[in-house]
Chain A
Amino acid sequence: MSKVKKTIKVIKINADLCNGCRACEVICSAFHASPKYSVNNPARARIRVVFDPVKNIYVPVYAGGYMAAECMGRDKYLIDGKEYEECAFCRSACPSRDAFKEPDSGLPLKCDMCEDDPPQEEPLCVQWCLADALTYEEREEEVDEELELDDMETGLRALADKYGFQNIVDAVARMSQKDEI
């Protein structure tokens, strides 16, 4: 495999500075609406703030990959005497929970670092986090070339896992015959 230059985008999360305002969730969901900013709904955000004021728990977590099946077991963290909810830091949209899934379709959500044309100066959640709990850094690295799935492919992959690949193909064929797409 050949080597390519890649920009590594890092959002640094300083959970100690998080004030639980959820502005990151608000703007993420608005930015990804179409047309842009026309709809806002934190349930569609690709970031979620794990939030329990009574335990003083405030941890922003980014949506990572989609998982077809849940893990064999769950993890549960205890840090500084605070017990976090099960799978608290997991970034996956997985069958065990509704985090990082579109509320209506159940399709998985993944942080895309606010890809935009022209590019945004910083991811939107970083721009809207005035508490500086989220900050942004970029650096260049040499990495192996690989194919990345885009949003639609990730969605299709999730559907295929749920219904079987052949069923999806059949459905698409039927729909195109009925001139529905």
Chain B
Amino acid sequence: MRYAETGYNLEIDLSTGNIEKVETDPKLTELHLGGLGTNAKIMWDRVPPEIEPFSPDNLLIFSSGLLGGTPAPAANRTIVTTISPQTRLVAFSMMGGFFAPELKFAGYDKVIIRGKSPGLVYLWIKDDEVEIRDASHLQGKGSLETSELIKQELNEPKAQVASIGLAGENRVYFSSIEHSRSSASRGGLGAVMGDKKLKAIAVRGTKDINIARPEEFIKLCNEVLQYIQWRADNPIKHVPPILAGLGSPQEMAIHDEEWHTTAFSWGNARYRRKDFWTEEVEKEWTKVQEGAVERLISCYNCPMKCGAVISYPSQELSKYMMKCYSKLTYVMGAMADDLEFGFRIAGLAQAYGVDGFSAPQVMAFAVELYENGILTDEDMPDFPADNEGRFFYLLEKIVRREGIGDVLANGVYWAARQIGKGAEEYDHNTIKKHEQIPIKLGMLNPIFFLLLATGEKINITQIEGQLPQAPFPNPEDRKEFVKDWIQAPSDRIKEFFLKWEPRGEYSFPFYPDFQTACELVEWQETMHYIDDALGLCAGLSSFPIKPPYHINNLPQIISAATGLDIDRDELWNKIIKRNRNLIRAANVRRGLRRKDDKPPQDHWRKRFPEHEAKLLDEYYKFKGWNKEGIPTKETLEGLGIGYVGEDLEKRGIYNEQSEEND
């Protein structure tokens, strides 16, 4: 019997209409766990670098994680993996909600989609019955509307649906896949789905998931729930309210937005507004939010309520669901000041299915180009004068790929190069061709430098976590923090935190030492890679400070669920390293090199090029990568994936002349 996983994948060829249920090799679970791990293996084996994002041979994988659908709280992530049209690298965005557990209950760990359908279709999975159905009547429909219509026509109110909106249909490079209260947004996965002419996947399952050591497993789950309750009464002190609790983060419940609005930058990642947050703003925004939020809602089997049912009277879609801080990304991108605008445009943007982080930045970039005369009235006929109007205008153009929208739909990086006339100068907040969160700070943070530069998940909130973002000024507070820090990976990390000061010898950028910096970075990244293999929400694991899931209890949880005996060393130093290197190698094969491992240009005012280069050198060494950031043959061999090194060698990648680095 297979435990925690179903042991089956669904292979769908949209070109031929072929549907196959394929048993998976249990050995792969031991090597890679599931979710992102086994997705990475499939991508490596079946999608060589010659395959373009919009080739029928590109795969689009919807995967549950190894723990998905088990009673483990918040094991609900769907890990979607493909080659991104924007970054041209392996993209692996996740979404919460209910999709992955339902897929497991239908009897599948993954749906692997290849080919391209001649006409718009959707996939309907009900336990053993799988059908490709016509979706021509759903063309142009909003993402949520699509899922409602599908449930109605199938007469299956309990089906879970993942769908794309107009943006995905039109292959906008930052289009999302939307599902219930969540979305898989980063990397333009929706565009690949649209390219395959797959409007949606609907799934309903009524089968069992087995647990290997039930008593032990449920006891661990109960401990997780108890810790969640304890943390609710014991928020982290000395950090902004939005970072004090668990969840991912609970933007719909929290009104104090001082941290986001004053520490993050507005417009095209340009201006910090340190005085923005006043009592008056807080009062007004609280009123708006309370008026819009009808109910706080959770994902499958999680108590955290990070999302909300939003009802907005002045809006075409009377209701939608919102999470995270997309309520602010449009407001801040447009320099709009009023939260009401945020709720209005976010609902529309979600119906069209665009990434709530990238879309506002692309639009802010366009506004800046217009203000600087690079884009003109010729490019943007009837461009409104007010910021809010401009954002609505741009959104409509982009999702239809109409006029200038056709260029902007490729994201800041590609649009800047297509527009030319100096537009590249305004592309200052992308990494690896992808828009980043607009942070603007003073002193270089060596830990974030490495996380941002080398992270292939491309989104910092999905790379960092568990460590307070700034030192606690008072040593007594640090001692108190460390006392019950059961999540810390080692004493060295605790010592680092105890000594860490805002200024002086033990402060950034030269503190911590290289070895500690590398350990900190690898620990944070490892936690996310564990979550992505297990299908756990980062909001209860890798992201918040002192979460209920951590490196010290996860090995036992995995072992109890699956019956595999996995200890911490095996998990971290074998399985996760293997997965991490497989992704790295797949991207190296697609051209990723040291020159791409950079943070956004304007993230910090004070930069230290020499120190940064040294940090990168040391981190590469720590990872077992060469000077170009390429996993060495020995490293890959040691992880039992020597075939990856052989492939890189055959392609001549180890013999390249290393380019001069900037």
- Does residue B631 face the partner (Cβ distance < 8 Å to A)? no
- Does residue B17 face the partner (Cβ distance < 8 Å to A)? no
Q: Are B209 and A41 in contact (CB under 8 A)?
A: yes
Q: Are A56 and B210 in contact (CB under 8 A)?
A: no
Residue of B nearest to A131 (CB): B303
The number of chain B residues with a CB under 8 A from chain A is 41
Query: Of A21, A22, A30, A128, which is in contact with the most chain B CB atoms at under 10 Å from its CB?
Result: A21
Query: Of A42, A43, A54, which is in contact with the most chain B CB atoms at under 10 Å from its CB?
Result: A54
- Does residue B208 face the partner (Cβ distance < 8 Å to A)? yes
The number of chain A residues with a CB under 8 A from chain B is 32
Residue of A nearest to B303 (CB): A130
- Does residue A112 face the partner (Cβ distance < 8 Å to B)? no
Residue-wise, chain A 38-61 has the 8 Å CB interface mask toward B (1 for contact) of 111111100000011111101000
Q: Are B69 and A103 in contact (CB under 8 A)?
A: no
- Does residue A19 face the partner (Cβ distance < 8 Å to B)? yes
Chain A residues whose CB sits within 8 angstroms of the CB of B303 once the complex forms: 19, 21, 23, 129-131
Q: Are B105 and A19 in contact (CB under 8 A)?
A: no
Q: Are B300 and A39 in contact (CB under 8 A)?
A: no
Chain A residues whose CB sits within 8 angstroms of the CB of B311 once the complex forms: 56
A30-B295 contact, Cβ under 8 Å, with A38-B210, A40-B209, A130-B225: no
Measured between alpha carbons, how far is A35 from B70 in the docked complex, in Å?
15
- A15 CB to nearest chain B CB (Å): 10
Residue of B nearest to A99 (CB): B158
Measured between alpha carbons, how far is A22 from B303 in the docked complex, in Å?
9
Q: Are A40 and B297 in contact (CB under 8 A)?
A: no
Residue-wise, chain B 300-339 has the 8 Å CB interface mask toward A (1 for contact) of 1111010001010000000101000000000000000000
- Does residue A94 face the partner (Cβ distance < 8 Å to B)? no
Chain A residues whose CB sits within 8 angstroms of the CB of B207 once the complex forms: 41, 43, 103
Measured between alpha carbons, how far is A58 from B298 in the docked complex, in Å?
12
Residue-wise, chain B 50-79 has the 8 Å CB interface mask toward A (1 for contact) of 000000000000000000011101000000
Q: Are A85 and B305 in contact (CB under 8 A)?
A: no
Q: Are A42 and B302 in contact (CB under 8 A)?
A: no
Measured between alpha carbons, how far is A128 from B300 in the docked complex, in Å?
13
Residue of A nearest to B296 (CB): A19
Q: Are A40 and B211 in contact (CB under 8 A)?
A: yes
Q: Are B298 and A20 in contact (CB under 8 A)?
A: yes
- A35 touches which one: B98, B144, B157, B214 (CB < 8 A)? B214
Interface residues of B in 119-160 (CB under 8 A from A): 144, 148, 157-158
- Does residue B215 face the partner (Cβ distance < 8 Å to A)? yes
Q: Are B180 and A53 in contact (CB under 8 A)?
A: yes
Q: Are A37 and B214 in contact (CB under 8 A)?
A: yes
Q: Are A41 and B215 in contact (CB under 8 A)?
A: no
- Does residue B206 face the partner (Cβ distance < 8 Å to A)? yes
- Does residue A27 face the partner (Cβ distance < 8 Å to B)? yes
Residue-wise, chain A 3-43 has the 8 Å CB interface mask toward B (1 for contact) of 00000000000000001111100110010010111111111
- B298 touches which one: A21, A27, A33, A44 (CB < 8 A)? A21
Measured between alpha carbons, how far is A130 from B94 in the docked complex, in Å?
25
Residue of A nearest to B294 (CB): A56
- Does residue B228 face the partner (Cβ distance < 8 Å to A)? yes
Measured between alpha carbons, how far is A76 from B98 in the docked complex, in Å?
27
- A121 CB to nearest chain B CB (Å): 12
- A100 CB to nearest chain B CB (Å): 13
Measured between alpha carbons, how far is A130 from B247 in the docked complex, in Å?
14
Chain A residues whose CB sits within 8 angstroms of the CB of B294 once the complex forms: 56
- B144 touches which one: A42, A54, A131 (CB < 8 A)? A54
Chain B residues whose CB sits within 8 angstroms of the CB of A43 once the complex forms: 105, 205-207
Chain A residues whose CB sits within 8 angstroms of the CB of B70 once the complex forms: 40
Residue-wise, chain A 113-151 has the 8 Å CB interface mask toward B (1 for contact) of 000000000000000111100000000000000000000
Interface positions of B (Cβ within 8 A of A): 69-71, 73, 98, 105, 144, 148, 157-158, 180-181, 205-211, 214-215, 217-218, 225, 228-229, 294-303, 305, 309, 311, 319, 321
Closest 3 CB pairs of A and B: A37-B214, A103-B206, A130-B303
**Other contacts beyond A41-B105, A56-B295, A58-B297: 4, CB < 8 A:** A20-B298, A37-B217, A40-B70, A53-B309
